[in-house]
Structure formats: C-alpha cells, structure tokens
Amino acid sequence: MTTKRRWTSWAFNCAARPLWPWRTRDRKVLTASHTPVLAEEALRWLRIEPGGTYVDATIGLGGHAVRIASQLTTGRLIGLDRDAGALAISSERLKDFGGKVVLVQADFSRIDEVAQELSLPPVQGILADLGVSSFQLDTAERGFSFRLAGPLDMRMDSRSATTAADIVNETAESELADLLYRLGEERDSRRIARVIVRARPIRSTEHLATVVAGARTSRGRQKLHPATKTFLALRIAVNRELEALGQFLKRASATLAPGGRWVVLSYHSLEDRMVKQEFRRLGAEGVLNVLTRKVLRPTDAEIAVNPRARSAKMRVAEKLMPVAPAEKLAS
C-alpha cells in the first residue's frame, strides 16, 4: 500500500460520519474540551468568503474549523490531521455542516498531495495551528504530559514506529544531550542525559519527569516544570515536527489562490523562527506579502481564560498575483 493511498483511505465528508475506531474504544474522547487560540483574530485575518475553499491544516479538535465552517455557504473546508483520535472528535463536532467539510488523516506536510488528490482549486485560505491539542495533553495513555502518569509514547500518529520510550532508552548519551539542547533549548541537557542513561529503563511519563526534575540545576523560583523542555524536545523528535513544518512551509503557498491568506500559530521559538524565515524568503521572491510585521499574541484576557495560549504567536501572509515574465523584464 502506498503512502498516498494510506491517507486517502481516511478521507471522508462529515455527512457520512463513518464509525471511527476511537468511538467504539473510548467514547469519552468525544467530550474532550478545547478552546481554540486566537480564534477571532484567525478568522479576521483569513477574511472568510462564503463560497471559498479553506484548509485547516491541523484541525485537531475542530475549534477553529467550526468557526470557519459556520461562515461558509457554498464553500468548503478541508481539515487535515494525522491524529485519528482528534479527527474522531472534530468529525462529531462538524457533523452538522455535512458535505461542506471534508476530513483527511494526513500530516500537514502533505498539503499539496491532498489538494491534488481531492482536485481542489487554489484555496482562499490556510490555517495551521502548530500546538498540541488539549485532547492529546489530557489523555494520559498518549504520554504527552509530565503531569499525568502514562506510557512514554508521544506519537501523534499511532501508526508511527518510534515512541518517546525508544528515544529515551536507546539513544546514546551524547546524542540524547544534543537532542534536548537543540529541540528543547534545555541548558542542562548534558546533566539530564547523563541521569536519564543511569536511570534506564524508563517506561512512564511519571518516572521520566521525576528523573529530569532531580537532574535540573535549581535557579530560584521556576515558572516552568523542570521537565517541560525535555518533554517538548522528545515530542518534537518522535513526531519529526520540524521536518514536517519545513515541508509544509515549502509546499503550502502553491495551494493558495492569489489574494489567499495564510495564518500560522506557533508556540515555541524554533517553530516561529522557521515560519518567520520562510515568510520572509517568499516575500523577497514576490510570492507572499507578509501582513504581520510583528507577531500577534493573545491578550491577557484570553490567557486568563485559556492559560495554554500564553506562548502563542501568530503570523499572517497573503499570496500575491504572479508576475508575468514580460513584467519582470520591464522591472
């Protein structure tokens, strides 16, 4: 079975509402709570056209998607996510929109392939929220959170082979230290890696969090849990998030129609730096007009209601009309 067929086999419109494995195995996931970050700002910058086609490249639990779909009349929303559990929830939430919404289990790095497979016209808007959903963080057996006891998993796509436990227990100490420093910007990476290697085997989130907390150098009152950066680095590594983001940033603009808007929400400096640099590059090449010279951030009021929004950064760009060769020569 080829990669393309693997994800197209999961494409469906919400009117069909197929029976997802997650529903029969764990019905409580359908009640997972989720507050989308910068929702009003995202819709304002997307400038929704009722008859337009939009892509929510990381649909998650459907918080942004519900708001987009509610403004469509003859338009369509395509939702992508590699997490089958998240798609189960979003499909339930979007069921009233019927065929206006099509969901596909696919990584957002394959946005161009999905657009081609679905024969999409150039789209009027793309939204990508790069954060981890509350469903993933609050489901202990997914292994994303150091606050909940669960297996060291962290896979967004359960079909992926590598888990966080594999990296923690099998990576050489020097490589593990480099990974924690590079992906988590963890200053105590070498000390943490050394202590992790001594504590092996480590199989649970609780065990890893305790080991890391014991290895961290105390620097007064800490705003973050001592294991925050270690868990971030492992999650990024398990899901190859930066590689996927790089592919998405290179491919997404080709799916936009002239005048189409591209909104990206990031949550840590590595992601935001990549988005900023790619927007700048495409701007210099005349492909995009970057609309946000400075990042947009949540207000204090939003953070008070939704603390997980505190690190969010939004950047927005607009697709420019291609310049004809004769115009280029004239200029």
Apex 259 CA angle, 254 and 264, nearest 5: 65
Residues 228 and 247 in one domain: no
Residues 124 and 43 in one domain: yes
Residues 230 and 291 in one domain: no
Residue 144 maps to a domain: no
Distance in angstroms (rounded) separating the CA atoms of residues 121 and 193: 49
Owning domain of residue 290 = 3-135+242-330
Residue 25 maps to a domain: yes
CATH code for the domain in which residue 186 is found? 1.10.150.170
The number of domains in the chain is: 2
Residue 130 maps to a domain: yes
Residues 12 and 102 in one domain: yes
Residues 49 and 197 in one domain: no
Q: Which residue has the tokens 């997490």?
A: 83
Q: Exposed/middle/buried for 196, CB within 10 Å: 0-12, 13-18, 19+?
A: buried
The pTM (predicted TM-score) of the whole model is: 0.89
Task: Give the domain-ending residue among 238, 264, 282.
Answer: 238
Residue 154 maps to a domain: no
The pLDDT, as a whole number, for residue 35 is: 85
Residues 30 and 124 in one domain: yes
Q: Do 107 and 252 meet the contact criterion of CB atoms below 8 Å apart?
A: no
Burial track 273-285 (b if 16+ CB lie within 10 A, e otherwise)? ebbbebbeebeee
Residue 153 maps to a domain: no
Residue 147 maps to a domain: no
Distance in angstroms (rounded) separating the CA atoms of residues 175 and 190: 10
Task: Give the domain-ending residue among 208, 238, 268.
Answer: 238
Residues 25 and 96 in one domain: yes
Three-state secondary structure readout of the chain: CCHHHHHHCCCEECCCCCCCHHHHHCHHHHHCCCCCCCHHHHHHHHCCCCCCEEEECCCCCCHHHHHHHCCCCCCEEEEEECCHHHHHHHHHHCHHHHHHEEEEECCHHHHHHHHHHCCCCCEEEEEEECCCCHHHHHCHHHCCCCCCCCECCCCCCCCCCCCHHHHHHHCCHHHHHHHHHHHHCCCCHHHHHHHHHHHCCCCEHHHHHHHHHHHCCCCCCCCCCCCHHHHHHHHHHHHCHHHHHHHHHHHHHHHEEEEEEEEEEECCHHHHHHHHHHHHHHHHCCCEEECCCCCECCCHHHHHHCHHHCCCEEEEEEECCCCCHHHHHHC
Residue 26 maps to a domain: yes
CATH code for the domain in which residue 297 is found? 3.40.50.150
Residues 115 and 258 in one domain: yes
Residues 104 and 221 in one domain: no
Q: pLDDT tens, 255-287?
A: 999 999 999 999 999 999 999 999 999 999 999
Residues 181 and 196 in one domain: yes
Residues 175 and 70 in one domain: no
**Tens digit of pLDDT at every position of the chain (331 positions):** 344 434 443 556 665 444 344 343 444 444 445 689 999 999 999 999 999 999 999 999 999 999 999 999 999 999 999 999 999 999 999 999 999 999 999 999 999 999 999 999 999 999 999 998 888 888 999 999 999 999 999 999 999 999 999 999 999 999 999 999 999 999 999 999 999 999 999 999 999 999 999 998 766 666 788 999 999 999 999 999 999 999 999 999 999 999 999 999 999 999 999 999 999 999 999 999 999 999 999 999 999 999 989 999 999 999 999 876 555 545 5
Task: Give the domain-ending residue among 201, 220, 238.
Answer: 238
